[in-house]
Amino acid sequence: MTKNRLLRVAKLTLVGLVVLFTTSNTLVGCAGGNAPLARIFGGFPHIRPAEDPVAARSLEEFRSVYAAYAATDSSRAQQLRHFTDAYLRVRADYVQRIDDVQLIAAAVDGIKKIDGRPGAIPSSDVTEAALDSLMASLDPHSSYLNPEEFKDSQVATRGEFGGLGIEINMENGFVKVIAPIEDTPAFHAGLKAGDLITHVDGQSIEGMSLVEAVKLLRGPANTDVRLTIQRESGADETTLFDVTITRAVIQIKPVKWRLEGNIGVIRITSFIQRADDELEDALRALRRQSRDRLQGLVIDLRNNPGGLLNQSVAIADAFLNRGDIVSVRDRDGEGRSFTATPGDLSNGLPVVVLINRGSASASEIVAGALQDHHRAMIMGVRSFGKGSVQTITPLQWDGALRLTTALYYLPSGRSIQGGGVAPDIAITGDAQEDGRREADLPHALQVDQGLQARANAKVRESNCPTAGEKNDDRMLGCAVAYLQDGSHDKFLARFGTQTKL
């Protein structure tokens, strides 16, 4: 029975910043003269100098700096309106209330870092630098998308785009890999979650903005790029090595499946459009190949960086009959809840969900919802901890804002932001060492986590049997063994686990 898919959230997305994206802006100058601030900043109607003198002084500083750096050209007025539109949206819709002085100071700082002779810099470049800096000051996931990037973001959610195939953020001046996307050039080159990219084609990216670094990473399909990777190799030890990757037009297949005996394994690589339909196709194929003798299902969300909110809700809904899946709340506590509809597409089969620190965003919604409803056993490593919602909103002239506008909460009321989802059974070992997560990123949103769940059992990865296409995946082996044993206690006794950590 196919569930009714009514969940088409127009602008809410949880899409990670992939290498094909840049996060730049286009901004321009102010009108000069002694016109009142309210007239110069005609697009700031909510900021009146008499009512908010601190904001007025901040805007006056911005006007002065902008006028000093921007060349006089034909686009100044339009670009100022463009900046104004973006500024007001941030001020009104960002997930936390931000001081005007802080926002304008970030924009001014961006202008002052531009290379070039003040007064001769194209006004669009000045505006771009100001808005890039303003957005970067908010959190790791908010950014400005210029028209090209906005187009790329729409293509990416449909599953086809050009690039390397990694989700990234900036950390300590370098590009950090959050997760490689399966079956992409970056994945096949062996990049791992937590890797730092320090050089691109021999050029250091230290101190660059994310926009500048991404521009180096991008390029035509079928061209090579040489990355220098810094990887943690042990306690306080790192290794440095080069890897050459061939850029490609990436077509993501969001769902893959295989049989391990009578256990169905469904690998969800990304929550892009049609992932829910492909999940249904996978379930039908598994039933057919197993001759309707499926004993259980493994839903593998490892290194899945997220995707569309409506897809995560639909996939969680596939295994639930009722109850909340996730709620989305803005800074005033307002929002909406997404609930399950009747009909379990797996007909009640036992489910194990695999997660690791590369499981983020939409993956955490699915794992957390199934955990809270006791519908699945969660196994693996604590997830990344990205519990914020990004709304991609087109601006009036060009491009769009990718703005953090809300946080999502699991059925139990807990937030994923920063803390992630803890597995019920933790898989431990050298290959599963904890790495850096959302909470470690610069400007990461701080949320009161309350009482967080902890794993109540653990298994050393070396104790797990092997499974998978290459018969080398021990975490998957433990998930398959858990379902084959048919008993929680039997599995724990068999693999020498320690309970009540």
For residue 29, what pLDDT is reported? 22
Residue 197, amino acid? I
pTM above 0.75, yes or no: yes
Chain-centroid distance of CA 277 in Å reads: 22
Question: pLDDT by residue (tens digit) across 66-104?
Answer: 889 999 999 888 888 888 888 889 999 999 999 888 999
Q: Is 280 part of a structural domain of the chain? A: yes
For 437-451, write each residue's pLDDT tens digit: 898 888 899 887 655
The CATH number given to whatever domain includes residue 271 is 3.90.226.10
Q: Which of 393, 387, 391, 325 is nearest to 361 (CA)?
A: 387
Alpha-carbon span 253 to 268, nearest angstrom: 9
pLDDT at 330: 94
**170 and 87 co-located in one domain:** no
Structural domain span for residue 113: 25-29+40-145
Do 272 and 359 share a domain, yes or no?
yes
pLDDT of residue 158: 55
Looking at the structure, tell me whether residues 259 and 135 fall in a common domain. Answer: no
Which of 122, 145, 168 terminates a domain? The answer is 145
Q: Residue 3 domain-assigned?
A: no
Among the three residues 81, 114, 145, which one is the final residue of a domain in this structure? 145
What's the pLDDT at 138? 95
Same domain, yes or no, for 216 and 277?
no
End-to-end CA distance of the chain: 40
Q: Which of 209, 270, 361, 415 is catalytic?
A: 361
In a domain, 151, yes or no: no
pLDDT at 162: 60
For residue 84, tell me if it sits in a domain: yes
Residue 384 lies in a domain: yes
Residue 49 lies in a domain: yes
* Pair 247, 269 in one domain: no
**Residue 386 a catalytic site member:** yes
The answer to whether residues 119 and 90 belong to one domain is yes
Residue that is last in its domain, among 115, 145, 175 = 145
Here the CATH number for the domain that contains residue 180 is: 2.30.42.10
Res 56: pLDDT? 74
Which entry of 372, 383, 424, 473 is annotated as an active-site residue? 372
Q: Where are the beta strands (DSSP E) in 323-410?
A: 324-329, 335-339, 351-355, 377-380, 388-394, 400-409
Cα(16)–Cα(390) distance, rounded to whole angstroms?
A: 9
pLDDT of residue 464: 95
Q: Residue 71 CA to chain centroid, in angstroms?
A: 37
361 in catalytic set: yes
Q: Say if 356 falls within a structural domain.
A: yes
Q: Give the residue carrying structure tokens 């686990």.
A: 497
Q: Packing angle between helix 76-93 and helix 100-112, nearest 10 degrees? A: 140
Environment class of residue 147 by beta-carbon count within 10 Å: exposed (0-12), middle (13-18) or buried (19+)?
middle
Between strands 12-14 and 307-308, the pairing is antiparallel
User: 193 and 328, same structural domain?
Assistant: no
For the chain, how long is the longest CA-to-CA vector?
Answer: 81
Which stretches of the chain score pLDDT less than 70? 1-52, 55, 152-162, 211, 234-235, 430-435, 449-453, 497-501
Shared domain check, 204 and 126: no
**Domain total in the chain:** 3
Q: List C-alpha distances in Å: 313 to 49, 73, 190.
A: 45, 48, 31
Question: In 3D, which of 3, 12, 1 has the Cα closest to residue 314?
Answer: 3
Is residue 307 located within the same domain as residue 430?
yes
312 is catalytic: no
Answer whether residue 286 is part of any domain: yes
Identify whether residues 355 and 476 lie together within a single domain.
Answer: yes
Same domain, residue pair 175 and 259:
no
pLDDT of residue 274: 93
Asked if 479 and 354 count as a contact pair (C-beta separation under 8 A), the reply is yes
pLDDT at 375: 98
303 and 364: one domain? yes
